[in-house]
C-alpha cells in the first residue's frame, strides 16, 4: 500500500487529507510542521510515495521542509504536492524550484485531490503497493 506524508499545522486539514488519501488507497503519516516532519521521517523505514505539504507553518515552512527533504537521497524523487492558500506567483515559483510536483489551493475538494493524484499517476489503479 502506498504511503503519504501529510505536513500541515492544521489538525482539521490533516484529518481531511488523511481521510481522502486513505479512501484512495494510501496509508498516511502526519506532522504538524516541517521540523516535526523531518523527525517523523527519521523514525520511518518504509519509502514514501507522496508528500502533501502546506506552506505556512510555524518552526519550518513548507518550502524549507522541501529543501531539506530534497537533500535526502530517499526523498529526492518522491512527488510533493503543496496544498496552501498562497496564490502569489513568486511563492509558487519558489515552491516548484524547491521540488513541488503539483500545487493545490485551499479550500479543496476530494475531487481536486484525486485530480492531482491522477496527474502524478498515484491513484490506486496506477500504484502498486
Domains of the chain: 3-83+96-119 (3.40.50.2300)
pLDDT tens sequence across 31-88: 999 999 999 988 776 789 999 999 999 989 999 999 999 998 889 999 999 999 999 9
Nearest-10 Cα torsion for 54, 24, 12, 107: 60
pTM of the model: 0.93
Q: Closest Cα to residue 67, out of 44, 105, 94? A: 94
Report the C-alpha gap between 126 and 128 in whole angstroms: 7
Amino acid at each position: 500500500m502506498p504511503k503519504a506524508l501529510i505536513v500541515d499545522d492544521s489538525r482539521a486539514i490533516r484529518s481531511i487529507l488523511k481521510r481522502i488519501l486513505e479512501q484512495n488507497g494510501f496509508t498516511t503519516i502526519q506532522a504538524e510542521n516541517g521540523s516535526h516532519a523531518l523527525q517523523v521521517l527519521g523514525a520511518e523505514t518504509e519509502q514514501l510515495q507522496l508528500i502533501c505539504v502546506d506552506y505556512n507553518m510555524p518552526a519550518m515552512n513548507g518550502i524549507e521542509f522541501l529543501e531539506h527533504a530534497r537533500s535526502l537521497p530517499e526523498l529526492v524523487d518522491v512527488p510533493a504536492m503543496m496544498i496552501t492558500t498562497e496564490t502569489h506567483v513568486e511563492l509558487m515559483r519558489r515552491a516548484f524550484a524547491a521540488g513541488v510536483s503539483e500545487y493545490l489551493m485551499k479550500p479543496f475538494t476530494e475531487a481536486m485531490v484525486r485530480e492531482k493524484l491522477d496527474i502524478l499517476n498515484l491513484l490506486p489503479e496506477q500504484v502498486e503497493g
